Structure 1
Amino acid sequence: MGAESQYRTPSGIEIREVYTDAPQVNERPGEYPFTRGIQKDMYRGRLWTMRQYAGFSTAEESNKRYHYLLAQGTTGLSVAFDLPTQIGYDSDHPMSEGEVGKVGVAIDSLRDMEVLFDGIELQGITTSMTINATAAILLSMYIALAKKQGADLSQLSGTIQNDILKEYAARGTYIYPPGPSMRIITDIFEYCSRELPRWNTISISGYHIREAGSTAVQELAFTLANGKAYLQAALKKGLDINVFARRLSFFFNCHNNFFEEIAKFRAARRMWAKMVSDLGATDPKAQMLRFHTQTGGSTLTAQQPLNNVIRVTHQALAAVLGGTQSLHTNGYDEAISLPTEAAAKVALRTQQVIAFETGVTDTVDPLAGSFFVENLTNEVEAAAWAYIDKIDAMGGSVKAIEQDYMQREIAAAAYRHQQEIENGERILVGVNKFVQPETTEPEVFRVNEEVRQEQIAKLALLRINRNEQAVQEALKKLAEAAASEANLMPCILTAVEAYSTLGEISDVLRNTFGEY
């Protein structure tokens, strides 16, 4: 490994041989700017939520996995949706062929949502839904089901990802142009501030930016820049930052460079507190950056997959030392297929061992005052602000995305990373060093190819049995609302409760807003 890259973080921050001093750490945990954590007692008061991201095939199959995970001690559900659901197509649409139930669960209507959460009381659990372009529809289905269960909506808690800007920059599951997409998001902010006060209306995601190949500094900078764009859009709509900013959360990746990841999380809290305060937030709850972490999917290797248990463990530990509010640990087999039940259990047990056996939860911010960590936190922060200043000079995140700035920066970082692996500058154990022939075939989780036909049959039955007049009236009112400046959420909820399908609702909005 070359001397220059050996002593730099993957973001290019130089690592000194020894650190002999550090910036003074005068703040206490739970106080502005929250570098040391958002709660004064952190995990002594309450552990992070242990989520396991799951969803595949049909609602029936995913429901079984949820009950399994809950029985194993998971404390929050995290729903993965298939690609057609993410981009607003019903399972019987030609565009859905080959993708139904593959990378998540297929949800075509409220009927599927009822099956997905069968036997699970929504008011008694927090649910995170990784959904963006169709977030308003899936949230409406969740609300409709909660109402049918008799839940108090003011007590309903969970998160929708609802972060469309990173879709344009890194992931690609957008439907409408940026302007209408931002309108839908601020409609959700406004609606939930009235009707679902405990619901996190957006999880501003750096995870997918990182999975696309960004560095830790780029992940931090681009995510906070996107967060700033959402703040400004909500302020423009006339919303109170001290109310809606309390319900914004973040979703970060945790990769292999242990100390850089911890520094990233500490810097993120400090930067967000300043950013929100500069825009007028005075309530400490509105200034706090709360975040979910997932271990790095792109760091997992198909070669020697059990090595991934070690990678996931130290990534999870970094997230905990960085002060995460909830955590998902990847299965060791995810470079090969969706996780098997055995891999999902090991992933959950990893969190439980960290929580109950290591002692790292016994004190708040155990690495505070470390010469290395405090210096690195400052350097990560300074590098991220440099990116944000460039984005601000372009006119903000939306303009930067439209000019392909973020996309180009991420692609360049991904290319450099791959070059370093291929020329041996960066060691990937089991891939370019300590390689061995694979002697056994790992167990692979496969989704039945008949899933699409099952979903098509369900849709046909749904359309026969529902009140078609109520569906058409609800869709007509939604079209009228979309053409006006009315909040779309009440109309989407009415359409969902009439058993309009996800594709039908998305098509109404496509007809008004167009596609990007």
Structure 2
Amino acid sequence: MPKLNDRAPWLIRTYAGFGDATQSNARFRENLARGQQGLSVAFDLPTQCGYDSDDPLAAGEVGGTGVAIDHIGDMEALFDQLDLSQINTSMTINATAPWLFALYVALADKQGVPRDALRGTTQNDLLKEFVGRGTHIFAPEPSLKLCTDLIVFSSREVPGWNPTNACGYHYMESGAGPAQEIGFAIGNALMMLDAIRPQLDEKAFASVVKRISFFINSGIELVPEIAKMRAYTQLWTEVCESEYGVQGVKFRAGCQVRSLTLTEQQPEVNIVRIAYESLPVILSANARVRALQLPGFREAIGLPDQAEQTLSLRTQQVLMYETGVADYEDIFEGSHVIERETSKTKAEALRIATEIRSIGFGPAIQHIAERLTAGLVEQSAALETGDVVRVGVNAFLDEVGITPKADFSEDVAAKAAAAEGQVERLRQWRAQRDADAVERARQGLLKAARDGENIVPSSIEFAKAGGTTGEWTKTLEEAFGGRYQAPLGLDVAVSRSVRVPKVDFPCRILLAKGGLDGHVNAVKLLAFACRQAGMEVVYSGLQQTPTAIAAAAVQEDVDIVGVSSLAGAHVHIAESVLASLKERGADDIPFVIGGIVPEEDHQSLFDLGVSAVFTPKDGDVFKVVESLIELARAKA
């Protein structure tokens, strides 16, 4: 078994970042002191979606799901007392990845750290944002251009950086099976490589191929997941040689285990699920991830606190130092079952990857979205019928109560004060910087974008001049033509559908994503189910302000409004939407909210006038639709 000073068989990460940069920096240093071996930075939704902290759309979201980064001063505070040449930094960032990368490089330049000494990863995968996470900003074509700009720049200037994670994780979270996860991820990686190939000489391109990394999922079904990991490893090596002539490419991946299996009911059981889900990606010596991060066991209820992050860290440390899993050669070599399942998965994944590549980046968005919708519906139906058993959800329902109930109540005043502090510091930053230098750098960025140049060098100059996240985004919107709404993918046939009641009167429902949270699984499943029930569904899209939601409800003359929020802004969204409905004389329209809503907040929402609250434990689609129909009937 490894000793503490031995080279670790994989890198242990926790996903951290909250509030402002100073708070997050303290959390980073605590985690490193506890034995964490790399930093995985979570950014708040305004940063991910390209808004400054004082933008109206950022209200209620600043510092919520991660750290707020408005400018290079925030980046400097985030990495205070941390040597950028000695740490490996993974940034979960996509649409604004070139900007956050530019801030990081600009900070390294300021500190005198050579660019070739930087080590880390930017996720920088836009395809899955269009179909899974929803933090995309620009249309498909400019999105792919920005993604590949970062890859090309890093290959020339920051060769130790992993410029993209081709993500399979989010596809599995959104309804994909094992072969689909691999096929969508590898198909996307091939499209990115096809786009950059003309820009690099043969040697540089081969180097980029070897640096492409992946971010994958690991689920609870051990044999299919072990086969999936082995199929990933084998297929990537094979396609890099067959498609590009680059030999000896190793599959390089980080992993987070599956969050969609984590339940609000009996959350302690999730501790066991998380440990089991870790096994498929570490057991095979020839098919092992390079980095692993585990969620908090109460993720279905709220964001993890320090104690939950420590438990996730200890889970990995037990696996690494006590179980002996890294002591042996590959224990699955020669297994007929594993080899058979690996071959089947690999063949289907190659078919899917080839199909995605042939379709092309933009058209692939609709194609993948529809297949993920079908997967979600079919998985929900399997739970409903009992074909799939989930402990605490459709079997073994008695609550055990092993640990004390978690307190997810927030100090609302403290959260508001922290956000106000971030906004005030941003205003001071703008007041103290050289406005002329900022504008000159902004014009350079705008010209680069319009002329089709690589925008990373001009983004670094804009960062050094003191530009902000929102200003960077608006400059590129000026060049590329504004924000893009991706298709939801509802027009799809399914092999088995969820059971729903039938509505017996004309009924229109508005479904919306309030705030900046872009996860659409629940909205897609509910929209599909409501259509099956005979309701007319109006979907207003992502990043909707409360005013826009209320205006759409009145304009569309709907009978009920449903808003999804998974990022902690539910109270702010509900209060604002209800106030806006009242201003329009439409406060008789029932308003419901669903998502990650701690029980402690339910009464506050009801006091505001919310008609119903749905959380992950309300997984019976029939009952949810039935409740919506009855609320709409009462209005009618």
Same fold, TM exceeding 0.5? yes
Asked whether 1:436 is paired with 2:436, we answer no
Task: Give the TM-score taking structure 1 as reference length.
Answer: 0.88
Which of 305, 316, 333 aligns to 1:340? It is 305
1:481-496 → structure 2 map (5 Å cutoff): 481-496=448-463
Asked whether 1:454 is paired with 2:418, we answer no
Report if the CA contact (8 A) 1:295-1:328 is conserved: yes
1:127-206 → structure 2 map (5 Å cutoff): 127-206=89-168
Q: Deviations over 1:372-407 (max 9, x none)?
A: 1111111111221232343345x3343222xx1110
Aligned to 2:225: 261
Looking at structure 1, the residues matched to 321 and 400 of structure 2 have their Cα atoms a distance apart, in angstroms, of 35
Structure of higher CA gyration radius? 2
Asked whether 1:508 is paired with 2:480, we answer no
Residue segments in structure 2 that go unaligned for 5+ positions in a row: 485-636
Aligned to 2:339: 374
Corresponding residue SS for 2:282: helix
Looking at structure 2, the residues matched to 506 and 372 of structure 1 have their Cα atoms a distance apart, in angstroms, of 50
Which of 115, 121, 124 aligns to 2:86? It is 124
Aligned to 1:242: 206
Corresponding residue SS for 2:416: coil
Which of 207, 221, 239 aligns to 2:169? It is 207
Looking at structure 2, the residues matched to 392 and 472 of structure 1 have their Cα atoms a distance apart, in angstroms, of 40
Aligned to 2:9: 47
Corresponding residue SS for 1:124: coil
* Letter of the 2:81 counterpart: G
Aligned to 2:244: 280
| Residue 46 of structure 1, CA deviation | 4.4
232-241 or 262-271, which deviates more:
232-241
Q: Deviations over 1:349-388 (max 9, x none)?
A: 1111111111110123222211211111111112212323
Looking at structure 1, the residues matched to 69 and 410 of structure 2 have their Cα atoms a distance apart, in angstroms, of 19
Q: Deviations over 1:159-211 (max 9, x none)?
A: 00000111112221111111111111221122111110100010111111111
Asked whether 1:251 is paired with 2:218, we answer no
Q: Deviations over 1:41-79 (max 9, x none)?
A: xx9964211010111111122112111111110001001
The RMSD of aligned alpha carbons is 1.7
Corresponding residue SS for 1:471: helix
Report if the CA contact (8 A) 1:190-1:239 is conserved: no
Aligned to 2:578: none
Task: Give the TM-score taking structure 2 as reference length.
Answer: 0.72
**Percent of aligned pairs with the same amino acid:** 39
Q: Deviations over 1:124-164 (max 9, x none)?
A: 11010000000000001111122222212111100000001
| 1:45/1:67 CA distance change after superposition, 3 Å | closer
Asked whether 1:78 is paired with 2:40, we answer yes
Greater RCO structure (CA 8 Å; 6+ sep): 1
* Letter of the 2:216 counterpart: F
Aligned to 1:223: 185
Looking at structure 1, the residues matched to 362 and 330 of structure 2 have their Cα atoms a distance apart, in angstroms, of 35
| 1:211/1:450 CA distance change after superposition, 3 Å | farther
Instruction: State how many pairs are aligned.
Output: 469
Q: Deviations over 1:197-247 (max 9, x none)?
A: 100010111111111121122111111110110010011334543121122
* Letter of the 2:213 counterpart: S
| Residue 339 of structure 1, CA deviation | 0.7
Q: Deviations over 1:479-512 (max 9, x none)?
A: 1111113221111000001110011011100000
Corresponding residue SS for 1:122: coil
Looking at structure 1, the residues matched to 144 and 138 of structure 2 have their Cα atoms a distance apart, in angstroms, of 10
Corresponding residue SS for 1:433: coil
| 1:261/1:513 CA distance change after superposition, 3 Å | same
Corresponding residue SS for 1:292: strand
Aligned to 2:624: none
* Letter of the 2:221 counterpart: N
| Residue 476 of structure 1, CA deviation | 0.8
Report if the CA contact (8 A) 1:300-1:332 is conserved: yes
Asked whether 1:410 is paired with 2:353, we answer no
Asked whether 1:361 is paired with 2:312, we answer no
* Letter of the 2:353 counterpart: I
* Letter of the 1:169 counterpart: V
